[in-house]
Amino acid sequence: MNNFEYQNPIKILFGENQIENLSKEIPKDAKVLLLYGGGSIKQNGIYEQVTTALKEYKVIEFGGIPANPEYAILINALKMIKELEITYLLAVGGGSVIDGTKFLSAAALYKGDTPWDILTNNIRTTKGLPFGTVLTLPATGSEMNSGAVITRDETKEKLAMGGPGLFPQFSILDPTVIQSIPKRQLANGITDAFTHVLEQYMTYPIGALLQDRIAESILQTLIEVAPKVINDPKDYKAAANFMWSCTMALNGLIQKGVPTDWAVHAMGHELTALFGIDHARTLAVIAPSHYRYNFNAKKEKLAQYAERIWNVTEGTTEEKANAAIEKTEMFFHALDIHTKLSDYTANYEGTAQEISRRFTERGWNGLGEHKKLTPNDVEKIVTLAY
Ligand code: NZQ
Ligand code: ZN
């Protein structure tokens, strides 16, 4: 096992009716900016629960943060924060609203001229404007980590940012919020969380027995609850297990002491930037090709995953590893998630070259757990995913 440091300061309030406790977490004298997305919270009762809990506060609202939070829209919120001297941000939404809020937390205290530089120059935020979250969509884990991904339509870019100043102060996780989520977004959430675990697990063995088993238990739980969540989002037991699995998949715990990959996300983000494909679906497109292309480097963990998750006990390491990739594709297909780029766009020709060109331009020469994948490898992986 590798050496590691682990600190996660986020207070989690988990369970039904926890939104009522919002006022215990936000300072009484705060001037709050309530941030939300396209308006689902106004239809499902979450907005009402939040505003009721905050009735003693000065609250200003900023709605309209789109899926894949858009820089140009966030800049309008940033102006409000500065003009109205907002002291506290409250994100009520899924990964997009929470990530947008993290960007605003960083940008509000950023001294440079152009906040986009935080993303292009990889500026780590050590201090941000304080914020909390009310999660409405289990998927990204953003509610319990310090990372964010921001999109800029003007340049067709989607870039990551983060830093120890960007942990939410608290996150409220009420599993009943999933009752209003459309099936497509539930399937996305399962797929995203599942792939988060794979990014931190599907590398090479390093003797981290506990991390492996925690990772495997998250995968098993997601597989077990997936059909229940999709068919009956009112099933509280399934919803609670789904929600906590998504959070645990990306709160930093399972990546400690082990090699991590994240190349699937790096390539997937480009597919969202270029074609607007849902984040989770881009991962389902890239992951199988990535595992096939890097088969030799990953076959031992693929075989372990085949045995422990999919009960593939017969055959050689290679046979089990191949079965693992097929089982993963079948799992995505059962969620109605397609795994080829051509299933999403007819204009896929040239995509691999474009992504490879972008990675070259950014100097991304060493992706993956061995930090060896070059833009040339990326071109081949994306081509396999057509
Ligand atoms: O905008 P509203 O009206 O809220 O509707 C949203 C949106 O249309 C809807 N929704 C959310 N909660 C709902 C609901 N509809 C009904 N009932 C509810 N309770 O769902 C749609 C998608 O929401 P979004 O926030 O975009 O989804 P998700 O949570 O999957 O977030 C995706 C974003 O997170 C980034 C992705 O790249 C993408 O931009 N990620 C962030 C990560 C992080 N910070 O750690 C890691 C991930 O790998 C990912 O990259
Ligand atoms: Zn993801």
In which residue ranges of the chain is CATH 1.20.1090.10 found?
183-384
In which residue ranges of the chain is CATH 3.40.50.1970 found?
11-176
Ordered DSSP codes for 320-369: HHHHHHHHHHHHHHHTT---SGGGT-S--TTHHHHHHHHHHHHT---BTT
Nearest to 37 by CA among 61, 54, 1, 20: 61
Atom of ligand 1 nearest to the CA of 67: 26
Nearest ligand to the CA of 250 is: 1
Range 118-133 average pLDDT: 96
Q: Hey, what's the torsion of the CAs at 95, 96, 98, 104, to 10 degrees?
A: 150
Residues with CB under 6 A from ligand 1: 37-40, 44, 67-68, 93-97, 99, 136-137, 139-142, 145, 147-149, 177, 180-181, 185, 188, 192, 250, 265, 279
The tokens for 380 are: 């081949």
Packed helices 279-293 and 263-275: angle between N→C axes, nearest 10 degrees: 130
Give the residue, out of 99, 152, 171, 262, with the most ligand 1 atoms within 8 A of its beta carbon, to mutate for a pocket test. 99
Q: Which residues have their alpha-adjacent CB atom under 5 A from ion ligand 2?
A: 192
Q: How far apart are the first and last CA of the chain?
A: 37
The pLDDT of residue 131 = 98
Beta bridge partners of 138: none
Nearest ligand to the CA of 188 is: 1
Nearest ligand to the CA of 36 is: 1
The pLDDT of residue 112 = 93
Give the residue, out of 137, 262, 337, with the most ligand 1 atoms within 8 A of its beta carbon, to mutate for a pocket test. 137
Tell how far the Cα of 192 is from the centroid of ligand 2, in angstroms.
5
- Could you tell me if 89 and 104 are in contact, meaning their C-beta atoms sit under 8 angstroms apart? yes
The pLDDT of residue 351 = 98
Nearest to 285 by CA among 298, 272, 296: 272
Q: If 0-12 CB within 10 Å is exposed, 13-18 middle and 19+ buried, where does residue 110 land?
A: middle
Atom of ligand 1 nearest to the CA of 151: 39
Distances (CA, A) of 347 to 75, 142, 255, 267: 31, 31, 36, 17
Interval 269-292: pLDDT, tens = 999 999 999 999 999 999 999 999
Range 64-85 average pLDDT: 97
Radius of gyration of the chain (CA): 20
**Residue 148 — pLDDT band, cuts 50, 70, 90?**
very high
Interatomic CA distance for residues 70 and 196, integer angstroms:
23
The pLDDT of residue 217 = 98
**Residue 200 — pLDDT band, cuts 50, 70, 90?**
very high
Give the residue, out of 149, 200, 243, with the most ligand 1 atoms within 8 A of its beta carbon, to mutate for a pocket test. 149
Amino acid of residue 30: A
Contact residues for 222 (Cβ-Cβ < 8 A; gap 6+): 190, 193, 194, 197, 242, 245
Give the residue, out of 96, 133, 146, with the most ligand 1 atoms within 8 A of its beta carbon, to mutate for a pocket test. 96
- Could you tell me if 235 and 228 are in contact, meaning their C-beta atoms sit under 8 angstroms apart? yes
Q: Which CATH architecture has domain 183-384?
A: Up-down Bundle (1.20)
Q: Does domain 11-176 have CATH number 1.10.10.10?
A: no
**Residue 344 — pLDDT band, cuts 50, 70, 90?**
very high
Range 238-247 average pLDDT: 98
**pTM exceeds cut of 0.95:** yes
Range 234-257 average pLDDT: 98
Tell how far the Cα of 23 is from the centroid of ligand 2, in angstroms.
30
The H or E element spanning position 33 is strand 31-36
The pLDDT of residue 277 = 97
